[in-house]
């Protein structure tokens, strides 16, 4: 079985590679630059890598033509909301038109692999209290270039399933965390700052944004299992939320990380870390996905936090 992963060297891609290799897959994938290659340490010699900007249709098509994948996991994206606001055009060119390139290549090559389009819970945007927990029928109200681009690509995916019979399954994952995640994201940012203070690299002061928000967190190692199960047991054309179904306040997440360190640290609110339209609560309902696949998250939240801290202690 051959699998193509776009964005293979990213946070999620690297864990998906490990999982698929252990399942006996032949894995190849695209990467944008080599800055995240450290994520592939230990198994990089077991995969085939192609430097490819998914905005480049010809390059993407050649890779697919040469390798003829049975499954495609489409992860490549501009995924950090503040970056999407700084460069919305790049965000749309990558997240929407990069996805379009992938689908057009499949059509032109007259192949029809099974494909997972990875969207985002951010597509739901600002949700009303009576929408919680959020299921797949909740209206999409995206509020930033990232979420709008993902929602657009989500609709595009459904259109190509309906009009061209492409074997596309859509996922809307909620927040996922774990070792290797960029410190741009909240949990990894907190952990990195704590370790920098532990090692005397920074003063015992942490800068934080909105601590009142509540999010639905899943360990990335559980998330990639969900992606694989979506491919094996999900129904083409359908969309599935993937989440834990429970929320954790960011303040609680921070306090739990601080308890794992012996350092006394002062917390300072940083207005630069606040988002202009931050959803107060994102809690998902993934009963549809669980019913279809039997998946449930296995890794405890506290273990995830410990592993993230240990990751930063190891590399800093």
Q: What's the length of the chain?
A: 316
Q: What is the DSSP letter of 237?
A: T
Burial of 295 (0-12, 13-18, 19+ CB in 10 A): buried
- Mean predicted confidence (pLDDT) in 86-114: 97
pLDDT of the residue at 192: 97
Give dist(CA 236, CA 65) in Å, integer.
Answer: 23
What pairing do the DSSP bridges indicate for beta strands 214-215 and 48-51?
unpaired
Q: Which fold has domain 2-177+219-245+285-293?
A: Rossmann fold (3.40.50)
pLDDT band at 207 (very low <50, low <70, confident <90, very high): confident
Res 265 pLDDT > 80: yes
Say which CATH class 186-214+247-282+300-315 falls into: alpha beta
Q: For residue 43, how many other CB atoms are within 10 A of its CB?
A: 13
Task: Convert the pLDDT of each residue in 24-43 to its tens digit.
Answer: 999 999 999 888 899 999 99
Res 277 pLDDT > 80: no
pLDDT of the residue at 107: 98
pLDDT band at 171 (very low <50, low <70, confident <90, very high): very high
- Mean predicted confidence (pLDDT) in 276-288: 87
Give dist(CA 172, CA 154) in Å, integer.
Answer: 9
Give dist(CA 62, CA 191) in Å, integer.
Answer: 40
| Same fold: 2-177+219-245+285-293 with 186-214+247-282+300-315 | no
Res 153 pLDDT > 70: yes
- Mean predicted confidence (pLDDT) in 158-183: 98
Q: Which sequence spans correspond to the domains of the chain?
A: 2-177+219-245+285-293, 186-214+247-282+300-315
pLDDT of the residue at 157: 98
The residue whose two tokens read 């993902």 is: 150
Res 105 pLDDT > 80: yes
Which structure tokens are listed for 191?
């952990």
pLDDT of the residue at 276: 62
pLDDT of the residue at 28: 98
Predicted TM-score (pTM) of the model is 0.96
Name 254's Cβ contacts closer than 8 Å, sequence gap at least 6. Answer: 190, 206, 208, 211, 267
Task: Convert the pLDDT of each residue in 251-264 to its tens digit.
Answer: 999 999 999 999 99
- Mean predicted confidence (pLDDT) in 158-175: 98
The set of long-range contacts for 286-290, using a CB threshold of 8 Å and a minimum separation of 24, is 286/240, 286/241, 286/242, 286/243, 286/245, 287/135, 288/135, 288/136, 288/240, 288/241, 289/226, 289/230, 289/234, 289/240, 289/241, 289/242
pLDDT band at 273 (very low <50, low <70, confident <90, very high): confident
Average pLDDT, the chain: 96
pLDDT band at 272 (very low <50, low <70, confident <90, very high): confident
Let me know how many helices (H) and strands (E) the chain has, helices first.
11, 13
pLDDT of the residue at 134: 98
pLDDT of the residue at 93: 98
Res 226 pLDDT > 70: yes
Res 275 pLDDT > 70: no
pLDDT band at 116 (very low <50, low <70, confident <90, very high): very high
- Mean predicted confidence (pLDDT) in 268-293: 86
Res 168 pLDDT > 70: yes
**225 close to 165: Cβ distance less than 8 angstroms:** no
Q: What is the DSSP letter of 140?
A: P
């Amino acid at each position: 079985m051959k699998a193509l992963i776009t964005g293979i060297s990213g946070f999620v891609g690297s864990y998906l590679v490990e999982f698929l290799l252990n399942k006996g897959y032949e894995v190849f994938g695209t990467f944008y630059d080599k800055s995240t290659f450290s994520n592939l340490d230990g198994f990089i010699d077991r995969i085939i890598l192609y430097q490819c900007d998914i905005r480049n249709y010809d390059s993407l098509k050649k890779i697919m033509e040469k390798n003829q994948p049975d499954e495609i996991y489409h992860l490549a994206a501009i995924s950090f909301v503040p970056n999407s606001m700084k460069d919305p055009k790049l965000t749309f060119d990558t997240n929407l038109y990069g996805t379009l390139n992938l689908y057009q290549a499949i059509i032109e090559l007259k192949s029809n692999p099974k494909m997972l389009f990875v969207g985002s819970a951010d597509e739901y945007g600002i949700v009303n209290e009576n929408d919680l927990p959020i299921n797949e029928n909740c209206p999409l109200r995206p509020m930033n270039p990232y979420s709008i681009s993902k929602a657009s690509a989500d609709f595009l995916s459904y259109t190509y399933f309906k009009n061209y019979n492409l074997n596309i399954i859509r996922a809307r994952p909620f927040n996922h965390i774990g070792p290797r995640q960029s410190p741009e994201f909240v949990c990894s940012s907190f952990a990195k700052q704590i370790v920098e203070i532990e090692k005397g690299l920074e003063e015992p002061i942490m800068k934080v944004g909105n601590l009142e928000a509540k999010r639905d967190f899943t360990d990335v190692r559980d998330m990639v299992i969900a992606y694989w199960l979506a491919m094996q047991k999900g129904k083409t054309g359908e969309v599935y939320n993937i989440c834990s179904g429970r929320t954790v306040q960011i303040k609680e997440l921070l306090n739990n990380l601080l308890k794992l360190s012996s350092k006394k640290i002062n917390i300072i609110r940083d207005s630069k870390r606040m988002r202009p339209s931050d959803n107060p609560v994102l809690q998902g309902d993934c009963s549809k996905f669980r019913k279809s696949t039997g998946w449930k998250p296995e890794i405890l939240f506290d273990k995830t936090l410990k592993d993230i801290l240990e990751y930063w202690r190891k590399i800093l």
